[in-house]
């Protein structure tokens, strides 16, 4: 299908007739035996390869909105960068069930595009944008029939620096395994209170007790981690207490405490793209635990018969009214390490989940199911002989 599309495309140009003939001849010519053998060898899936590509930042040479100087794309989101603002687009929504084959076939999943703007209020008009970390290879954008309008040889970079965004303050945008990091570098004596970020596009904006920033939309939530702030004292990195601080309905800054103003300071938050896991019926999450790798263990209850489970899971079938679900999500939120039902023929509930250093998962909850399924040679602990039972 790709070759056929290519032939049709070049045939639409008067100058492409000879090229079309060469393409057709190449398609009709038998492939050498070595190439046939190579084609039979197993190769990594295209989606697996694409998912491992690094984030790429490029100067905007016409491939993006002309009001922005740079464009970037990464796994799960893209952004456009101008002198005083960044426009970010990402998807939030339901992951494709892990039991679906990972092919190039389009999957119908409930995902939604969320677009929001991050503007730097009071930014210096003389700020300079400069890319960092040149990558191998170039990008080509062959849009339309006129080769004169094609964009070729565009270089890619790993990060984008805003030099002099505020007095003594630089900003660096970069991707970290699917999370957008926007890191502020403050020179000695620079005031963190200069940094004022105006966020637009969300339905609700608030800072939680842990100092994280939440942007709620009708389709999901984006979470900015509490900033990791530090100073270098010689070769020693000294962590500094910091959090987001609300300056108004759509504006935030940073609260930085007990730092040495005579030393440079780094304030480093990241944006996480939250996803939802569930089926077509009510699903409720009650508890989350996180292990040392950053993987999240989510436990809750569900009535969805098609709640996503993983191959080889303890129980891949819905059993009764409410079943417990236990799901382990990869540190970047992009995949399910495991997901299982747990329950009997009646209603089952979970109150909390925890994980130990070996990766063993522990649940505490209530069940009306008799008996509650358990591994061989292991009975769940209960404190009643009839009625609802608490189990661990």
The residues that bridge with 391 in the sheet, in sequence order, are: 365
Q: Do 22 and 127 reside in the same domain of the chain?
A: no
Q: Do 86 and 24 reside in the same domain of the chain?
A: no
Q: Do 107 and 216 reside in the same domain of the chain?
A: yes
- CA distances (Å), origin 7, targets 1, 28, 142, 149: 10, 13, 15, 20
Q: Residue 15 phi/psi, 5° resolution?
A: -80, -5
Q: What is the pLDDT of residue 310?
A: 78
Q: Do 252 and 303 reside in the same domain of the chain?
A: no
Q: Do 325 and 240 reside in the same domain of the chain?
A: no
Half-sphere exposure of 108 (CA within 13 A, CB side): 0
Q: Determine the straight-line distance between the first and last CA of the chain, rounded to whole angstroms.
A: 55
Query: Would residue 368 count as lying in a domain?
Result: yes
Query: Would residue 145 count as lying in a domain?
Result: yes
Total tally of structural domains belonging to the chain:
3
pTM of the model: 0.58
Which domain-ending residue is among 250, 273, 296?
273
Query: Would residue 40 count as lying in a domain?
Result: no
219 dihedral zone (left: phi>0; alpha: psi -120 to 50; beta) = alpha
Q: What is the pLDDT along the chain (392 residues), one digit of tens a residue?
A: 333 333 333 333 444 444 444 433 443 344 444 444 444 444 444 444 455 567 899 999 998 899 999 999 887 788 999 999 999 887 655 443 333 333 333 333 345 567 889 999 999 999 999 999 999 989 998 888 888 889 999 999 999 999 999 999 999 999 876 678 899 999 999 999 999 999 998 889 999 888 899 988 776 778 898 899 999 988 889 999 999 999 999 999 999 999 999 999 999 998 765 555 655 555 666 677 777 777 778 888 787 776 777 787 777 777 777 788 888 877 655 577 888 878 777 777 787 888 888 888 888 888 777 666 665 544 444 444 444 444 44
Q: Do 206 and 76 reside in the same domain of the chain?
A: yes
Q: Do 86 and 208 reside in the same domain of the chain?
A: yes
Which domain-ending residue is among 251, 273, 295?
273
Q: Do 19 and 72 reside in the same domain of the chain?
A: no
Which domain-ending residue is among 254, 273, 292?
273
Q: What is the pLDDT of residue 188?
A: 96
Q: Do 210 and 252 reside in the same domain of the chain?
A: yes
Q: What is the DSSP letter of 94?
A: B
Any idea what the CATH number is for the domain that residue 327 is in?
Answer: 2.40.10
Q: Do 66 and 189 reside in the same domain of the chain?
A: yes
Query: Would residue 44 count as lying in a domain?
Result: no
Q: Residue 199 phi/psi, 5° resolution?
A: -110, 130
Q: Do 326 and 247 reside in the same domain of the chain?
A: no
Question: Cβ distance 20 to 10 under 8 Å?
Answer: yes
- Domain of residue 363: give its range: 283-391
Q: Which two tokens stand for residue 135?
A: 């990558």
Residues whose CB is less than 8 angstroms from the CB of residue 17 and which lie 6 or more positions away in sequence, other chains included: 11
* DSSP for 195-255, written as a single string: --EEEES-SEEEE-TTS-EEEEETTEEEEEPPPEEEEEETTEEEEE-EEEEE-SSSEEEEE
Q: Do 310 and 369 reside in the same domain of the chain?
A: yes
Q: What is the pLDDT of residue 277?
A: 60
Question: Cβ distance 325 to 304 under 8 Å?
Answer: no
Question: Cβ distance 157 to 235 under 8 Å?
Answer: no
Query: Would residue 48 count as lying in a domain?
Result: no
Query: Would residue 45 count as lying in a domain?
Result: no
């Amino acid at each position: 299908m790709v070759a056929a599309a290519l032939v049709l495309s070049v045939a639409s140009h008067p100058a492409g007739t000879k090229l079309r003939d060469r393409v057709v001849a190449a398609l009709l010519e038998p492939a050498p035996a070595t190439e046939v053998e190579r084609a039979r060898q197993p190769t990594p899936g295209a989606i697996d390869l694409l998912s491992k590509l690094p984030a790429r930042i490029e100067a905007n040479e016409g491939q993006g909105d002309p009001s922005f100087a740079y464009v970037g794309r990464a796994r799960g989101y893209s952004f456009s960068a101008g002198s005083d603002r960044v426009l970010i687009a990402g998807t939030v929504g339901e992951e494709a069930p892990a039991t679906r084959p990972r092919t190039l076939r389009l999957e119908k999943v409930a995902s939604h595009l969320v677009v929001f703007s991050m503007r730097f209020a009071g930014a210096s008009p003389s700020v300079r944008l400069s890319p960092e970390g040149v990558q191998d290879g170039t990008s080509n954008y062959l849009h339309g029939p006129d080769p004169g309008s094609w964009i070729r040889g565009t270089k890619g970079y790993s990060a984008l620096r805003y030099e002099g965004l505020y007095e003594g303050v630089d900003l660096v945008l970069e991707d970290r395994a699917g999370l957008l990091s926007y890191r502020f570098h403050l020179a000695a004596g620079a005031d963190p209170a200069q940094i004022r970020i105006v966020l637009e596009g969300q339905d609700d904006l608030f800072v939680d007790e842990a100092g994280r920033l939440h942007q709620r939309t009708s389709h999901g939530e984006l979470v900015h981690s509490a900033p990791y702030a530090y100073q270098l004292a010689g070769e020693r990195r000294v962590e500094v207490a910091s959090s987001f601080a609300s300056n108004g309905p759509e504006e935030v800054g940073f609260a930085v405490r007990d730092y040495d103003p005579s030393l440079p300071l780094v304030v480093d938050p990241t944006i996480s793209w939250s996803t939802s896991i569930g089926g077509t019926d009510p699903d409720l999450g009650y508890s989350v635990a996180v292990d040392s790798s950053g993987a999240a263990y989510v436990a809750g209850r569900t009535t969805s018969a098609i709640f996503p489970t993983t191959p080889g899971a303890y129980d891949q079938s819905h059993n009764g009214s409410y079943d417990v679900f236990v799901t382990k999500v990869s540190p970047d939120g992009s995949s399910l390490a495991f997901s299982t039902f747990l329950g009997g023929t009646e209603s089952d509930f979970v109150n909390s989940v925890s994980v130990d250093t070996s990766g063993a998962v522990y649940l505490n909850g209530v069940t009306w199911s008799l008996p509650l399924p358990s591994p061989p040679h292991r009975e769940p602990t209960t404190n009643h002989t009839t009625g609802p039972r608490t189990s661990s």
